[in-house]
Amino acid sequence: MTSSCLTALQRNISVMWKTVSEDCNLACDYCYYSTCGGKPGPKINRIDSGILEKFIKEYMEMSNGAATFAWQGGEPLLAGLDFFKEVVTLQAKHAPKHTMISNTLQTNGTLINDEWADFFKKYNFLIGVSLDGPKEIHDARRITSRGQGSFDRVMRGINHLRKQQVDFNVLTVVHKGNVAKAAELLNFYESEGFPFVQFIPCMDFRSQEVDFPGNYEITPEEYGEFLCKAFDYWYNNGEPRTSIRFFDEMLNVYVNRDPGLCIHRASCPQTIILEQNGDAFPCDFFIDSDWKIGNVATHSIEEILSHPLYEKFLKMKPTLPEPCKSCEWKKLCHGGCPRNRKWSDDLMTSEVDYFCASYKQVYGYADERMSKLGDKVRARLFQQNVERYFKGKLPQRNDHCPCGSGKKYKQCCVTLSLKQEV
């Protein structure tokens, strides 16, 4: 094994594949990725079987016990069930023994039937369904090529997932039509019993050489207000309800863990984004010919990972703008997403993230309650693990902290009172 192979093994790379490129059966009016207008045509741009197997084999060889695949589109279900049956067969064929294989799939939900749901359940796929709120809100923007709303079809798809007990979450694009309606969205999600919700602000996800900040549909102030209202709902007097990813991950930081959302981690995760034809890019928001780092049909994963552009990309996030370096919220935010910063031509300096003001607003608004909740959660974990792993006695200062943060006890919960209400 070469030293470069070892490097890749240690990296734990995950993969996102744009399964059918831009092909989609919806024509959401804010979508900048798909250009087929909801009419994908008779021949779907599916990943070629040869490329699929070459990549899965190589990826599995360096999987290091865990292989993570994300399937996106366009609308990935247009690839057909046989395509995904081929995927799981190839994964099983090439996975070393005891490899944890995880598949997530982001769909508009309209094509899910019992057969799909059955398959997802059998192979343990985690499904993300795009839904922008209750019917009137969703149908205003997520439409078919004929301009009809897709809400009823999405809910039918969700019901198939429910029936087969498939794990799923809801992804909501926050745009002009719902940014002032956080409570309405969340009441609806709660009434439907959706357990996990994620928000993503509406913007042009694709082009990199766009005018800044011209491609954002909502203002930082609107998004900040939305997050504050959503926080009030989520916090629920210290008993969080409906898991909202932004706040779950924020709470993680108050429990002494690292942020989980890529935009708030110290560095961008090492992912390879693949177009249906095998072209590789460093991030879903950097699918642009200027950021192409190879093609899996002709390059090895190692060659792709060592492309100079990949290195350049990974340096962007930690190259913080001046205001971030001394920001009181740095630990929660880490400068946001490089995609939302306006960069100098040499990529050495940038302005702050377009949504900086939104983050500052919600961090300040939520801080006191998050601190209280974080202490409560930490104390509960601490107590449970002291019982479980330390026979009820306090650990030594250099032991791993029982709260599970991975830090030493002396650097973590040593000051935390066990007498807190847990």
So which residues are the catalytic ones? 284
Report the candidate in 134, 131, 138 with the shortest Cα–Cα distance to residue 191: 134
Cβ-based nearer residue to ligand SF4, 213 or 404: 213
Maximum alpha-carbon separation in the chain: 67
Residue 294 CB, nearest distance to ligand SF4 (Å)?
18
Cβ-based nearer residue to ligand SF4, 195 or 269: 269
Report the candidate in 169, 196, 202 with the shortest Cα–Cα distance to residue 28: 202
Strand order in the sheet with 243-244: 243-244, 196-201, 168-174, 126-130, 100-107, 66-72, 14-18, 271-274, 279-281, 294-295
Report the candidate in 314, 362, 311, 305 with the shortest Cα–Cα distance to residue 338: 314
Cβ-based nearer residue to ligand SF4, 139 or 275: 275
For position 18 contacting ligand SF4 by CB under 6 A, the verdict is no
Alpha-carbon gap, residue 256 to 237, rounded angstroms: 21
For position 359 contacting ligand SF4 by CB under 6 A, the verdict is yes
Residue 124 CB, nearest distance to ligand SF4 (Å)?
25
Among 201, 317, 361, 362, binds ligand SF4 (CB under 6 A): 317
Among 360, 362, 373, 413, binds ligand SF4 (CB under 6 A): 360
Among 200, 262, 297, 422, binds ligand SF4 (CB under 6 A): 262
For position 329 contacting ligand SF4 by CB under 6 A, the verdict is yes
Bridge-based pairing state of the strands 100-107 and 66-72: parallel
Count of residues that bind ligand SF4 according to CB under 6 A: 23
Among 46, 229, 339, 378, binds ligand SF4 (CB under 6 A): 339
**Residue that has been written with the tokens 């309606």 in this structure:** 181
Among 157, 335, 374, 395, binds ligand SF4 (CB under 6 A): 335
For position 205 contacting ligand SF4 by CB under 6 A, the verdict is no
Alpha-carbon gap, residue 25 to 39, rounded angstroms: 6
> How far is C-alpha 44 from the geometric centre of its chain's CA atoms?
26
Residue 265 CB, nearest distance to ligand SF4 (Å)?
7
Q: Are 171 and 128 in contact (CB under 8 A)?
A: yes
The residues of the shown chain that bind ligand SF4, judged by CB under 6 A, are: 262-263, 268-269, 283, 285, 317, 323-324, 327, 329-330, 333, 335-339, 352-353, 356, 359-360
